[in-house]
Structure 1
Amino acid sequence: MSTKSSKMGVVGLTILVAVNMMGSGVILLPANLARVGSITILSWIVSAIGAMAISYSFAQCSFYVTRAGGMSAYAEEAHGKSSFFMASYTYYLSLAIANVAIAISVIGYLTPFFPWLAKSPINTCIGVILTLWVTTIANFGGARITGQISSVSVWGVIIPVASLAFFGWFWFHPALFIHAWNIQHKPIGTAISSGISLTLWAFLGMESACANSEAVENPKKNVPIAVLAGTGIATVIYILSTSAIQGIIPNNELANAAAPFGLAFAKIFSPSIGDTITLLAVAACAGSLLGWQFTIAQVSKAAAENGLFSTLFSEVNTKDVPIKGMVLITAIQSLIALMTISPDLNQQFNILVNLAVFTNVVPFIFSLSALPTIMKRHAVSAQVYMKSTFIVMVALGFSLYGIASTGTDAVFWGGLVMLLGYVIYGFRAHRFPSATAVTATRPDF
Structure 2
Amino acid sequence: MIASAPVTPDNGGAGRKLGLVAATALVMGNMIGSGVFLLPASLAPFGWNAVLGWIVTIVGTLILAWVLAALTRARPLARDPAGFVTEAFGELPAFLVYWIYWVSVWTAVVSIAVAAVSYLSSFFPAIGATPFMPALCSIALVWAMTLLNLRGVRAAGDFQVVTVVLKIMPLIAVIIIAGVALGDGSANIRPFAIREINGVDLRGAAALTLFALLGFECASLAAARVENPQVNVPRATMWGTALTGLLYLLVCSAIALMLPEAVASSSSAPFATFVEQYWSTGAAALIALFAIISCVGALNGWVLVQGELPRNLAARGLLPRWFGGTDLRGTPVRALLASSVIATLCLLFNSSRSMQGIYEFVLLLSTSAALWLYLACALAAWKMRVVRVFALIGAVYALWTLWGAGVEASGWSLVLMLAGLPLYWWGKREAATSQEPA
The TM-score range, normalised by the shorter chain, is 0.7 to 0.9
The Cα shift of 1:16 comes to 6.1
For 1:23, the equivalent position in structure 2 comes to 32
RMSD: 3.8
Contact preservation (8 Å) 2:28, 2:216: no
Q: Structure 1 CA distance, aligned partners of 2:227 and 2:337?
A: 33
The answer (yes or no) to whether the contact 1:165–1:238 under 8 Å persists in 2 is no
Structure 2, gaps ≥5 residues long? 1-18, 433-438
The one-letter amino acid paired with 2:178 is G
Instruction: Give aligned pairs, total.
Output: 408
What's the offset of the Cα at 1:355?
Answer: 1.4
**Inter-partner Cα distance in structure 2 for 1:338 and 1:253:** 35
Q: Answer whether contact 2:29 2:298 (CA < 8 A) is retained.
A: no
1:291 Cα deviation from its structure 2 partner: 3.0
The question of whether the paired residues in 1 share the 8 Å contact of 2:310 and 2:324 is answered with yes
Contact 2:41 2:264 in 1 (8 A): yes
Q: Which amino acid aligns with 1:417?
A: L
Partner of 1:399: 398
User: Following the alignment from structure 2 to structure 1, what is the Cα–Cα distance between the partners of residues 42 and 356?
Assistant: 7
Distance 1:30 1:120, change over 3 A: farther
**Residues 73-116 of structure 1: CA deviation (Å, up to 9, x unaligned):** 11111210112212321221121111112212312321221122
The equivalent residue for 2:59 is 49
Counterpart residue number, 2:297 = 287
Is the contact made by 1:300 and 1:325 (CA closer than 8 Å) also made in structure 2?
Answer: yes
Task: Give the Cα–Cα distance (whole angstroms) in 2 for the partners of residues 197 and 409 of structure 1.
Answer: 15
The structural deviation recorded for 1:280 is: 2.7
Taking a change above 3 Å as real, the CA distance of residues 79 and 158 of structure 1, as seen in their structure-2 partners, is same
- State whether residues 161 and 261 of structure 1, in contact with CA within 8 Å, keep that contact through their aligned partners in structure 2: no
| More displaced stretch, 206-215 vs 58-67 | 206-215
1:134-173 matches, cutoff 5 A: 134-171=144-181
Equivalent residue for 2:316, pick from 293, 306, 311: 306
1:265 aligns with 2:275: yes
Q: How much has 1:361 moved relative to structure 2?
A: 1.5
Alpha-carbon separation, structure 1, partners of 2:282 and 2:335 = 41
Secondary structure of the corresponding residue to residue 114 of structure 1 = coil
Partner residue of 1:410? 409
Residues 1:102 and 2:102 are matched in the alignment? no
Question: Which residue of structure 1 lines up, in the alignment, with residue 285 of structure 2?
Answer: 275
Q: Is the 8 A contact 1:53 1:394 kept in 2?
A: yes
1:425 correspondence with 2:415: no
Task: Quote the Cα distance in structure 2 between the aligned partners of 1:136 and 1:230.
Answer: 24
Q: How does 1:112-131 map to 2 (within 5 A)?
A: 112-119=122-129, 122-131=132-141
Query: Cα distance, 1:152 vs. partner?
Result: 0.4
Alignment of 1:371-386 (within 5 A): 371-375=381-385
1:202 CA drift (Å): 2.2
Name the structure 2 match of 1:333. Answer: 343
Say if 1:230 and 1:326 are closer, same or farther in 2 by CA, change over 3 A: closer
Give the 3 Å change call, closer, same or farther, for CA 294–71 of structure 1 in structure 2.
same
For residue 67 of structure 1, give the secondary structure of its aligned residue in structure 2: coil
Displacement of 1:251 after TM fit? 4.3
- Residue type of the alignment partner of 1:362: W
- Please name the residue that 1:366 is paired with: 376
Displacement after TM superposition at 1:62 (Å) = 1.0
Q: What residue number does 2:211 align with? A: 201
Cα 1:348–1:169 shift into 2, 3 Å: farther
User: Residue 337 of structure 1: SS of its match in structure 2?
Assistant: helix
Contact 1:96–1:296 under 8 Å retained in 2: yes
Matching of residue 390 in structure 1 with residue 389 in structure 2: yes
Percent identity, please.
24
- The one-letter code sitting in structure 1 at the alignment partner of 2:128 is A
- CA displacement at 1:39 relative to structure 2: 3.0
What is the TM-score normalised by the length of structure 1? 0.78
Deviation at 1:367, TM superposition (A): 2.0
Shift of 1:307: 2.4
Q: 1:162 to 1:15 in 2, by over 3 A?
A: farther
Q: Which amino acid aligns with 2:69?
A: A
Query: Compared with structure 1, are the counterparts of its residues 399 and 119 closer, same or farther at alpha carbon in structure 2 (3 Å cutoff)?
Result: same
CA contact (8 A) 1:104 1:128 kept: yes
- The unaligned stretches of length 5 or more in structure 1 are 1-7, 376-384, 434-445
Deviation digits for residues 201-254 of structure 1 (CA, Å, limit 9, x no counterpart):
22222224554898489x5xx987885565343322111100112245554554
How far, CA to CA, are the matches of 2:398 and 2:320 in structure 1? Answer: 30
Q: What is the CA distance between 1:302 and its match in structure 2?
A: 2.6
Provide the rounded CA distance (Å) in 1 between the counterparts of 2:175 and 2:29: 18
Pairwise CA distance, 1:34: 4.2
CA offset digits 1:369-418 (Å, max 9, x no partner): 1113323xxxxxxxxx6xx2222111000001111121232112112112
| CA pair 100-248 structure 1, distance change in 2 beyond 3 A | farther
Tell whether the 8 Å contact from 1:28 to 1:105 is kept in structure 2 after alignment. Answer: no
Q: Using the alignment, how far apart are the partners of 2:118 and 2:266 within structure 1? A: 11
- What is the letter of the counterpart of residue 205 of structure 2? G
- The corresponding residue for 2:7 is none
- State the alpha-carbon separation in 1 of the partners of residues 121 and 144 from structure 2: 18
What is the aligned partner in structure 2 of residue 441 from structure 1? Answer: none
Give 1:421 shift: 2.8
Q: Contact (CA 8 Å) 2:379, 2:395: kept in 1 or not? A: yes
Aligned to 2:98: 88
Which 10-residue stretch deviates more, 68-77 or 266-275?
Answer: 266-275
Q: 38, 43, 66: which is aligned to 2:76?
A: 66
